[in-house]
């Protein structure tokens, strides 16, 4: 028989049992809608966490790793013991070592010539004591090239008072986290004294406050000019301990880190190594999302399978009559498989719409007020590929759910049915 006739019979049978058709269609609709909502929300959460992570983490960090050698001792220089049996040194005190990168300015200039690199920021960091009146507070201070730092992490967008370039206009200026300033009762324009472990001091004027939305940054981090940091620590102008790199394509970080480690002879860590736990958390959430979404669609498929089985059981005589009139097994299979696909396509389209509406509604739900996290609404990521895969999987599920009942209908013997 013709395809048009078979489709018309499928349509008539679907409309004849409207309640069952609507129930099956809603199963597909809610399955796909929940798939889209869950994957959009979970991917949005992962993207938010990654953006938060990358806002404080360089793609590649080059540094001089501390390796203290305990294999030799001062006693070994004065007492000869070739066999090494009598001279034993237990729990030696680590010797003083310099962690600076030799020829750091040359390495920075060489890196800035690469067309793969977006920004290079030299760093000299130290833990200092902040003194403001009777208040004392320990925090980390980074000596940086503030313009390079801004290019690395978008610091300008995170300023809630002052501007990043104010650090260049003010001798011994300092930019600090807003929580740190609150703990010290500081405001822009105030003077604060920085004291290092060796006792050297530097008075700095607060020129700006930033908010990253991360407690370790907002409460325990401040920036001063690199030259001021070198002066505070009593180091020369070439003394740099870290070189941080922002790439144009973060996916190249692992490969380039290995290249730079070999080229410059220092340790180079990529962002995936530094944030392995966060990446593992993203993978776990993605897996959970796909498992739950797959389960929802499979459950919807079983619903369609049960409904189609019931339909075939109730339509045995109709099938026998159709076969007696010349309909082949392929025609019967086409009729019932078409019903399943119509349910899947119609339910899938409604699921896409409902999924988008639910995702959009989630993206407009205000995030609970928090003193640290700088986010206004729940993070939701809208990607066309989620809708494509949701629709594709919905159609495949309903196709497979309708295939077995359709095959069963195609094999029915009309003579046996008509004889009763």
Model pLDDT for residues 55-65, shown as the tens digit of each residue: 778 889 999 88
How far apart CA 96 and CA 88 sit, in angstroms, is 21
The answer to whether the beta carbons of residues 176 and 186 sit under 8 Å apart is yes
Judgement on whether residues 111 and 134 belong to the same structural domain of the protein:
yes
Judgement on whether residues 213 and 260 belong to the same structural domain of the protein:
yes
Q: Which of 273, 290, 307 is the last residue of a domain?
A: 273
pLDDT of residue 53: 72
Domain assignment present for 174: yes
Domain assignment present for 90: no
pLDDT digits (tens, 9 = 90+) for 191-232: 999 999 888 999 999 999 998 878 788 889 999 999 999 999
Judgement on whether residues 347 and 247 belong to the same structural domain of the protein:
no
Judgement on whether residues 331 and 257 belong to the same structural domain of the protein:
no
pTM of the model: 0.68
If one counts the domains in the chain, the total is: 2
Say yes or no to pLDDT of 235 above 80.
yes
pLDDT of residue 121: 92
The partner residues of 205 in beta bridges, in order of sequence, read 173, 191
Domain that holds residue 108: 60-66+96-273
Judgement on whether residues 170 and 294 belong to the same structural domain of the protein:
no
The SS3 of residue 202 is: strand
Judgement on whether residues 259 and 316 belong to the same structural domain of the protein:
no
Q: Which of 273, 300, 317 is the last residue of a domain?
A: 273
Judgement on whether residues 105 and 206 belong to the same structural domain of the protein:
yes
Judgement on whether residues 293 and 361 belong to the same structural domain of the protein:
yes
Write the DSSP string, 373-393. ---SB------HHHHHHHHHH
Query: Mean pLDDT lowest for which of 25-39, 148-162, 267-281?
Result: 267-281
pLDDT of residue 110: 92
Judgement on whether residues 209 and 176 belong to the same structural domain of the protein:
yes
Domain assignment present for 73: no
pLDDT of residue 208: 93
Judgement on whether residues 250 and 347 belong to the same structural domain of the protein:
no
Judgement on whether residues 264 and 130 belong to the same structural domain of the protein:
yes
Domain assignment present for 332: yes
pLDDT of residue 137: 87
Q: Which of 273, 295, 323 is the last residue of a domain?
A: 273
pLDDT band at 373 (very low <50, low <70, confident <90, very high): low
pLDDT digits (tens, 9 = 90+) for 75-96: 555 555 555 555 566 666 666 6
pLDDT band at 242 (very low <50, low <70, confident <90, very high): very high
Judgement on whether residues 137 and 269 belong to the same structural domain of the protein:
yes
């Amino acid at each position: 028989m013709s395809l048009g006739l078979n489709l018309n019979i499928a349509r008539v049978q679907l409309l004849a049992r409207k309640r069952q058709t609507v129930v099956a269609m809603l199963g597909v609709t809610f399955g796909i809608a929940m798939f889209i909502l869950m994957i959009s929300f979970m991917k949005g959460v992962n993207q938010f966490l990654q953006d938060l992570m990358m806002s404080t983490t360089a793609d590649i960090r080059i540094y001089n790793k501390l390796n203290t050698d305990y294999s030799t001792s001062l006693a070994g220089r004065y007492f000869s013991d070739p066999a090494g049996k009598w001279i034993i040194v237990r729990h030696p005190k680590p010797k003083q070592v310099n962690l600076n990168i030799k020829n750091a300015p040359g390495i920075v200039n060489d890196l800035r010539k690469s067309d793969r690199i977006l920004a290079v920021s030299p760093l000299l960091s130290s833990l200092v004591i902040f003194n403001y009146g009777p208040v004392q507070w320990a925090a980390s201070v980074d000596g940086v090239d503030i313009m390079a730092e801004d290019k690395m992490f978008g610091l300008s967008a995170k300023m809630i008072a002052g501007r990043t370039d104010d650090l260049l206009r003010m001798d011994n200026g300092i930019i600090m986290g807003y929580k740190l300033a609150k703990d010290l009762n500081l405001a822009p324009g105030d003077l604060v004294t920085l004291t290092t472990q060796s006792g050297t001091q530097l008075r700095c004027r607060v020129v700006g406050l930033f908010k990253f939305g991360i407690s370790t940054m907002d409460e325990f981090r401040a920036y001063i000019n690199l030259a001021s940091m070198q002066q505070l620590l009593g180091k020369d102008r070439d003394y740099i301990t870290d070189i941080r790199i922002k790439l144009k394509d973060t996916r190249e970080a692992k490969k380039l880190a290995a290249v730079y480690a070999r080229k410059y002879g220092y340790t180079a860590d990529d962002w995936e190594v530094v944030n392995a736990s966060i990446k593992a958390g993203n993978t776990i959430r993605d897996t959970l999302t796909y498992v739950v979404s797959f389960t929802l669609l499979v459950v919807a498929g079983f619903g369609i399978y049960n409904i189609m089985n019931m339909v075939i059981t109730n339509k045995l005589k109709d099938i026998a009559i159709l076969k007696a009139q010349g309909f082949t097994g392929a025609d019967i299979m086409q009729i019932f498989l078409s019903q399943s696909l119509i349910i899947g396509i119609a339910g899938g389209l409604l699921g896409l719409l409902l999924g988008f509406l639910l995702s959009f509604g989630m993206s407009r739900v205000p995030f609970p007020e928090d003193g640290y996290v700088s986010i206004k609404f729940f993070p939701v990521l809208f990607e066309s590929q989620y809708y494509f895969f949701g629709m594709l999987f919905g159609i495949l599920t309903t196709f497979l759910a309708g295939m077995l009942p359709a095959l069963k209908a195609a094999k029915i013997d009309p003579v046996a049915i008509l004889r009763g």
